[in-house]
Amino acid sequence: MLIKLISINHEVNRNRFYEINDLQLSLWDDNYILELHWGRIGTQGRKKALYFNSENVMIKEVGRRLQIRNRHNYVINESQ
């Protein structure tokens, strides 16, 4: 599941994106992979992969990340 979020505020020149992608099981071991991609809209941004032993722990981390982004005024990007 890919979740795309954006935070745009022209008054403070903020044009950011944040993507969360759960990739399920790794090919080489039994870890679940959560890929994060963030940065300024129009740039390549940065990526980070997190590995989890359990799907439930990964889902909790997705919820935690969404709560943090919500506090920073990110909204779901419905245009893509």
Query: Residue 11 belongs to a domain with what CATH number?
Result: 2.20.140.10
Angstrom distances, CA of residue 55 to CA of 16, 59, 61, 78: 28, 6, 10, 26
* Per-residue model confidence (pLDDT) at position 34: 93
Give this prediction's pTM: 0.86
* Contact present, 6 and 75 (Cβ < 8 Å): yes
* Per-residue model confidence (pLDDT) at position 80: 56
* Contact present, 11 and 35 (Cβ < 8 Å): no
The total domain count for the chain is 1
* Contact present, 30 and 46 (Cβ < 8 Å): no
* Per-residue model confidence (pLDDT) at position 30: 80
Domain span holding position 22: 2-76
pLDDT tens, residue order, the chain (80 aa): 899 999 999 999 999 999 999 877 766 778 899 999 999 999 999 999 999 998 899 999 999 999 999 999 999 997 65
